Amino acid sequence: MNKRYSSEGPNPPLLGYARVSTEEQLNDAQVIELNTAGCTQIYEEHGSGASRVRPVLAKLLREIRAGEVLVVVRLDRLARSVSHLLQVIEQLEAKG
């Protein structure tokens, strides 16, 4: 598999995902935490947690590569149900 980093390097690339529910809300606090954690790229999205239709998350899941690490501030920013969380985890595992 193609990798964007050397597996011999000390740290894999960290990709952040920040989501808020409405257009009026800001991702600022999440973005600050993700930057502090060392994320090299942050995907930001506005969308209800109740909806599984999340174009930015779908793009991230398509683009993430083996060895990269997805970082979220809280699990409820990634998924609002156990079944959705398991679906995302399965997609990430399939990518390595």
- Which residues have a Cβ under 8 Å from the Cβ of 85 and sit 6 or more positions away? 75, 78, 79
The active-site residue out of 6, 7, 21, 51 is 21
Identify the bridge partners of residue 11 per DSSP, sorted by sequence position.
Answer: none
Is 21 considered catalytic here?
Answer: yes
Rounded Cα–Cα distance for residues 93 and 20 (Å): 25
Catalytic annotation, residues: 21
